Amino acid sequence: LQKLASLPPSRNDALIWMARTLIEQDEIGESGGLINTLQNDVNLPQRLKNDLEEVNAYWFYKQEIYDSSAVHLEKALTNADDKQDKSRREFLLAQLYEMTGKPDRASDYYAKASKHTVDPLLDIYAQLNDAKLLRKGDDAKQLKNSIANLVKMAHRDKFEPYRDIVYYAAGQLAMQLPDTASAIVYFNKSIEKNENNIKYRNKAYLQLADIAYSLKNYKLSAAMYDSLQLSGDSSLANSLASLQARRAALAKV
């Protein structure tokens, strides 16, 4: 009765949390030694195996050793709290495999993240990132299918608040075909459906401005650049000087 009513020993739990804390403090050597000690502990409870894999994945991640991080994170997938947490881990796994040059594994996990998530925004980015992987194989047919899927998503009620992002994503993929005419349509739809997302409105205007500039339609390009809302969008901070210079040049033209 005493054994059933008592809590399990917490020493190893504390050591795992200590390792995580040391990683956060960039104490890579000390945290690595602690992880190694736990890995070689024959008495480590089975219930903590996944926690240790998770910490090990984070240890490699902090050192930008993404292939090893992915291996350990994959082993810790069953440690997810719920379906949404699992989909976030799958999305991260997909990104890690993409960064390490394993597009097939990345595609598998983007698809799983899209299937399991209850967050429409994560669903959008999972499908978009998966579609972007296809450009490496120059498969125009699959790229067109991905664009068609994004357009279908835009018509579904649950994606209504994110239609500006969905259409912008479709425009990006259309540019990869390349299909400039369709891209222009999608970027304009993104602006049309945008209510208060300054960042994506600017992204769409910038794409349209660059397209018009490349087509030597300088009047339209100037109008698109003038439509940019430069204040309140930190993503344009690094290119602010070049944008101002182009706007000034186009005004003279």
pLDDT for 33: 93
Alpha helices in the chain (DSSP H): 2-5, 11-24, 28-39, 49-62, 66-75, 83-99, 103-116, 120-133, 140-154, 163-176, 180-193, 198-214, 218-226, 240-252
pLDDT of the residue at 137: 52
Nearest-angstrom CA–CA distance, 92 and 67: 12
In angstroms, the Cα distances linking 143 to 45, 163, 174, 178 are: 47, 19, 8, 10
Q: What per-residue confidence (pLDDT) applies to 196?
A: 86
In order along its 253 residues, the chain shows pLDDT tens digits of 565 555 455 678 888 999 999 999 999 999 999 999 999 988 888 888 999 999 999 999 999 999 999 999 999 998 888 989 999 999 999 999 999 999 889 999 999 999 999 898 898 889 888 877 765 555 788 888 888 988 998 898 888 888 999 999 999 989 988 899 999 999 999 999 998 888 999 999 999 999 999 999 999 999 998 888 877 777 777 777 788 888 888 888 8
Confidence at residue 75, expressed as pLDDT on a 0 to 100 scale = 93
pLDDT at 41: 86
HSE (side-chain half, CA atoms, 13 Å) at 200 = 24
Using left for φ > 0, alpha for ψ between -120 and 50, and beta otherwise, residue 41 falls in beta
pLDDT at 44: 84
* pTM to 2 decimal places: 0.73
Q: Give the pLDDT confidence score for residue 138 in this predicted structure.
A: 54
